[in-house]
């Protein structure tokens, strides 16, 4: 027992100071892309043609749909002028689908819930996760939120087993035909008022499975989505940042 106590003292606090302090991410982290359309040659379509999910449109100016983006960097490698680059910014979430369409160095906006709803969920938010055909990459990142580094529970946010104990749903996957009924029944079982959070490219747009014969291209085909968190999969900080902004715990314009 004394050895265990000594080890814990030596290790110190492993929980991130975020959002009170700036989070440090590894050099390999690939965050929000930026676009410099001024560098694009006229009628160049190379980035759009290289994108596996048709997330890029290049018609004189370039726009990138974060909701479809897999962060694979195929567009970066294809662009002869390096007009698209990826930053280390983990702020990717948005409360509207339209906000995920980037045309330059824009940052998606998360609008906080109205005051009455924030009072209801701001200090205690219980979420039921529904895997609607995911590859489980997003589930791994969601699970990481419970570890000692991110410690989701310190914000009063917890995952629960029953939708009847939940305040909302976290949906992953493109919503396959086999999971459609289960998703709808789970949503119906959550007491009102309730939230829906779409996590990952698949849950937002279908991701690489988009327009497949057995998928529905994301949660918003059936449910009213309150928060979109892009990525393939999104980093735990991206998920945490989006949820805290939705609850009004972090203001827009801050890291």
Q: What DSSP string runs through 60-83?
A: SEEEEETTT-----HHHHH-TT--
CB 124 within 8 A of CB 152: no
Q: Given CATH 2.40.10.340, say whether it is the number of domain 33-89.
A: no
Q: Which residues of the chain have a pLDDT value below 70?
A: 252-255
The pLDDT value given to residue 22? 87
Domain residue spans of the chain: 33-89, 115-246
Helices (H), 29-174: 46-50, 74-78, 115-121, 137-144
The pLDDT value given to residue 106? 87
- 84 forms beta bridges with 35
Under CATH, which architecture does the 115-246 domain have? Answer: 3-Layer(aba) Sandwich (3.40)
The pLDDT value given to residue 144? 96
**What is the C-alpha separation between 207 and 69, in angstroms, rounded?**
8
* 3-class DSSP assignment, residue 7: helix
The pLDDT value given to residue 13? 77
What pLDDT, in 10s, does the model give residues 12-70? 777 888 998 888 888 889 999 999 878 877 778 899 999 999 999 887 788 999 999 99
- Asked if the domains 33-89 and 115-246 are classified in one and the same CATH topology, the answer is no
First to last CA, the chain: 40
The pLDDT value given to residue 254? 59
**What is the C-alpha separation between 215 and 74, in angstroms, rounded?**
24
């Amino acid at each position: 027992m004394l050895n265990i106590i000594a080890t814990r003292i030596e290790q110190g606090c492993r929980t991130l100071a975020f959002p009170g302090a700036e989070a440090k991410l590894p050099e390999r982290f690939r965050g929000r892309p930026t676009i410099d359309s001024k560098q694009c040659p006229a009628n160049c379509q190379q980035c759009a043609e290289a994108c596996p999910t048709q997330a890029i449109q290049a018609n004189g100016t370039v726009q990138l749909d974060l909701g479809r983006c897999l962060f694979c960097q195929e567009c970066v490698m294809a662009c002869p002028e390096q007009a698209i680059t990826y930053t280390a910014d983990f702020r990717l979430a948005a409360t509207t689908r339209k906000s995920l369409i980037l045309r330059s160095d824009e940052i998606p906006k998360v609008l906080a819930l109205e005051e009455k709803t924030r009072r209801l969920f701001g200090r205690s938010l219980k979420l039921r996760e529904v895997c609607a055909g995911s590859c489980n990459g997003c589930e791994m990142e969601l699970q990481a939120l419970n570890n000692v580094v991110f410690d989701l529970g310190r914000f009063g946010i917890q995952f629960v087993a029953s939708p009847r104990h939940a305040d909302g749903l976290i949906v992953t996957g493109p919503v396959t035909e086999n999971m459609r009924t289960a998703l709808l029944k789970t949503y119906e079982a959550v007491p009102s008022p309730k939230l829906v959070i779409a996590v990952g490219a698949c849950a937002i747009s279908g991701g690489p499975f988009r327009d497949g014969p057995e998928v529905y291209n994301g949660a918003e085909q059936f449910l009213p989505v309150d928060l979109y968190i892009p990525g393939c999969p999104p980093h735990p900080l991206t998920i945490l940042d989006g949820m805290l902004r939705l609850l009004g715990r972090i203001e827009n314009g801050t890291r």
